[in-house]
Amino acid sequence: MPFCTSCGTNVDPGASFCYHCGTAQPRPSAQFTDFLDGLSDRTASILCYIPVFGVIPAIVFLASQKYRGNPRVRFDAFQSLYLFLAWLIVSSAIPVFFFHWPGWGVDHPLVSILKVAMFVCWIYLLVKAAHDEQIRLPVIGDLAARSTTEQL
């Protein structure tokens, strides 16, 4: 229970004035709470694997203080980032790089198959994260594990 700033009498925590001497009491300062406080590790892992847009929460989780020492969420965030990088390479760089070859372009069947395979991979990782399981992709998972251990 707080005390009056003038006379020292016990006052209620929400009181604006001391009931004994009438002096105005300072308002308690509002405590800032982190917007990630109510988020569980499982939910953070799920958010990382939202196809294409999961890169945004992954970056937020990697930069946040709450998940700085959490290897599971950091691994999922790094794996999501590397999967997004692979998506960018498949959807943007490969068609541009091979554009001058006959038959290659954005609508080439190999590019479409790779995009569908990566999308299915994202959904698979999302479902596994929802079941609280951690899956390590062959090359991307190794990079994510290395990045996770280097950052701790």
Which tens digit of pLDDT belongs to each residue from 87-145?
988 888 777 776 666 665 556 778 888 889 999 999 999 999 999 999 999 999 999 99
pLDDT score at 20:
85
Domain regions of the chain by residue span: 1-31, 41-151
Residue 28 DSSP class? P
Rounded CA separation 96/115 (Å):
15
pLDDT value, residue 1: 58
DSSP H or E segment with residue 121: helix 109-130
Tokens of 141: 């998972």
Provide the residue type at 114 as one letter.
L
pTM: 0.71
* pLDDT recorded at residue 74: 95
Write out the two tokens for 39. 């988020």
What confidence tens digit (pLDDT) does each residue in 32-45 have?
567 788 889 999 99
Tokens of 3: 């005390």
Q: Which tokens belong to 105? A: 């372009």
24 phi, psi to nearest 5 deg: -65, 135
Of residues 31 and 83, more confidently modeled: 83
Q: Is the pLDDT of residue 61 over 90?
A: yes
